[in-house]
Homo-oligomer: A and B are copies of this chain.
Amino acid sequence: MVPDIAVVDLLGLLAYGELTAFERLATDARMAPTLVDKIALASMAAAEFAHFETVRAHLLRIGVDPEEAMGPFVSPLTNFHNLTAPADWLESLVKVYVGDNIVADFYREIASVLAPDACALVLDVLADTGHAAFAVERVRAAIQANPTVAGRLALWARRLMGEALTQAQRVAVDRDALTGLLAGIGDLQALAEMFERITRAHTARMDSLGLSA
């Protein structure tokens, strides 16, 4: 059986997303203010790499070349990360927490239209790697110590969303099959509800950081 091109696209995007998340977390670990923070971030990076290997192994198992599957997403994901290189440790934490979670929410919605094995794989590699509690605790403490950083970080989060949407639109235009998966979610009403759910969860996360969405 030839694997569905939309599923291959989704898994290729997911795999390259995990690989770049690994690189980014490992690079950001260099900005960590303490050894404990550095180890926490490095440990999340290693967890992302394990997720990458899980998706890669799945692609090989269904007879797909992982590098080929990832190919179409190298440029949009590289652009996104180049345009949103954090200037400091707090920006990197906000990017990890806000960015990864909104992407994860989106994958979880899409996973519901996949075959059971692909769905289970996606949900498995999206398991929280400890980003959440760690980032929330550190960002809240920083805002408490110096409330003026809240404004800057809120702006930063909005810029992240803007750049992410720009790249997502590029991918949507280039990869018809992938966009086609959205049709599986339902009609326009169902899609609107999905985006509403994702936005609500994002706002709740910004709240938990102490930032206005």
User: Which residues of A does B touch, CB under 8 Å?
Assistant: 19, 22-23, 26-27, 29-30, 35-36, 38-39, 42-43, 45-46, 49-50, 52-53, 56, 67, 70-71, 74
A36 to B27: give the CA distance in the assembly, Å: 19
A52 to B49, alpha carbons, bound, how many Å?
A: 16
Q: For the complex of A and B, list the 10 residue pairs with the smallest distance between their C-beta atoms, beginning with the closest.
A: A26-B26, A46-B49, A35-B67, A46-B46, A27-B27, A23-B30, A23-B29, A23-B26, A42-B49, A22-B42
CA distance A26 to B38 in the complex (A): 14
B27, B43, B74: the one contacting A26 at CB < 8 Å is B27
Among residues of B, the one whose C-beta sits closest to the C-beta of A29 is: B23
B38 in contact with A43 (CB, 8 Å): no
Q: With A and B bound together, what is the CA distance between A117 and B43 in angstroms?
A: 25
CB pair A26 B45 closer than 8 Å? yes
Point out the residues of chain B lying under 8 angstroms from A45, CB to CB: 26, 49
Are the C-beta atoms of A50 and B42 separated by less than 8 Å?
Answer: no
Nearest CB in chain B: distance from A85 CB, A: 11
Asked if A46 contacts B50 (CB within 8 A), the reply is yes
Query: Are A70 and B35 touching (Cβ within 8 A)?
Result: yes
Q: Quick check: A42 and B19 within 8 Å, CB to CB? A: yes
Q: Which B residues touch A29, using CB under 8 A?
A: 23
Chain B residue nearest to A56 (CB atoms) is B39
